[in-house]
Amino acid sequence: MTKYGSFPGTRPRRLRTTPAMRRMVAETRLHPADFILPAFVREGVREPVPITAMPGVVQHTRDSLKKAAAEAVEAGISGIMLFGVPEEAKKDAVGTPGTDPDGILQVAIRDVRAEVGDELLVMSDLCLDETTDHGHCGVLDEQGRVDNDATLERYAEMAQVQADAGAHVVGPSGMMDGQIGVVRDALDEIGRQDVAILAYTAKYSSAFYGPFREAVASSLKGDRKTYQQDPANWRESLRELALDLEEGADMVMVKPAGPYLDILARVADAVDVPVAAYQISGEYSMVEAAAEKGWVDRDRAIIETLTGIKRAGARNILTYWATEVARRLR
């Protein structure tokens, strides 16, 4: 046989010969502790409500949410990120349910903490979009624009009521300028230096959020392009990263995950804090829809997408498959 360079002496395929060999030399491994489960709890329902655009995902009742949290602990995942869906009549221009100690999110935080204690990190979405009648992530001014600084005042109140309810971690997700510093100050003001902040550092204005809007019964009018990042930009994400770290973020996140693996890799290379990525509703729904039609192998596609996210640099992954995949890994 003619020798070409190091071939035939060098044959990389030797390290791919059997499942045991491939397992031994794998460079990236998924582990149950990598995962955080996003979960929705809806006020005023007696049974879980299926989300039609997200097959297999529901809007939980308080009781079914507690069961999901217990299952997450059993599966060995690290956290649960809670989103509250208030009754429509309770929404208003300033998102009052978000700062009401008896608002559905705060009630759910207390429920889950009572159920699992410290065995699971209870994380709370810190944003107004689920609680406003206009569906934006902040307070609107007289011209209908999101008022950054007025919104920060609301975020400070939200941080405090979520901490009082028992959140281990708050996740400011509205992409307001200065939000991390304001939330950190608000938490420290009430002596909650122990509550960590997961910053939604690079949150892009994405078409893949569509199914999520059904999940949270969004009332959005218009779009969020004036505060979420432009998908065309990557330097902007590094600027946001520097600001979030300067303001006191304990962890940072890229959202969505799959379409922004390049951003995720850049962020992971730049920091020494934990980096998370959110595999969002549209990413989930595309795989489920293609699998339902028989176009992809569902289980392989799930593992492949999650492995790609971790390979790009995510230490933790928010995914609606968290409990399912953790069980499979165990």
Which is the catalytic residue, given 66, 67, 91, 255?
255
pLDDT band of residue 125 (cuts 50, 70, 90) is very high
Alpha helices in the chain (DSSP H): 19-25, 62-75, 104-116, 148-165, 179-189, 210-215, 235-247, 261-270, 281-292, 298-311, 322-329
State yes or no: pLDDT of 222 exceeds 80.
Answer: no
User: Does the annotation place 281 within a ligand binding site?
Assistant: yes
Predicted confidence at residue 225, as pLDDT, reads: 82
pLDDT band of residue 1 (cuts 50, 70, 90) is low
State yes or no: pLDDT of 266 exceeds 90.
Answer: yes
User: Does the annotation place 224 within a ligand binding site?
Assistant: yes
Burial bucket for residue 220 (CB in 10 Å: 0-12, 13-18, 19+) = middle
Distance (Å, whole) CA 40 – CA 61: 9
User: Does the annotation place 88 within a ligand binding site?
Assistant: no
Predicted confidence at residue 2, as pLDDT, reads: 66
Express each pLDDT in 67-121 by its tens digit.
Answer: 999 999 999 999 999 999 999 999 999 999 999 999 999 999 999 999 999 999 9
Q: What is the pTM of this model?
A: 0.94
In order of start, what are the domains of the chain with their CATH numbers? 30-329 (3.20.20.70)
Express each pLDDT in 281-318 by its tens digit.
Answer: 999 999 999 999 999 999 999 999 999 999 999 999 99
Predicted confidence at residue 212, as pLDDT, reads: 73
Give the mean pLDDT of 167-185: 96
User: Does the annotation place 283 within a ligand binding site?
Assistant: no
Which is the catalytic residue, given 66, 91, 203, 310?
203
Express each pLDDT in 8-26 by its tens digit.
Answer: 888 999 999 999 999 999 9
Classify each residue of 115-136 as buried b or exposed e, where b means 16 or more C-beta atoms within 10 Å of its C-beta. bbeeebbbbbbbbbbbbbebbb
Beta bridge partners of 40: 59, 83
pLDDT band of residue 215 (cuts 50, 70, 90) is confident
Give the SS3 label for residue 251: strand
Q: Is 255 a catalytic residue?
A: yes
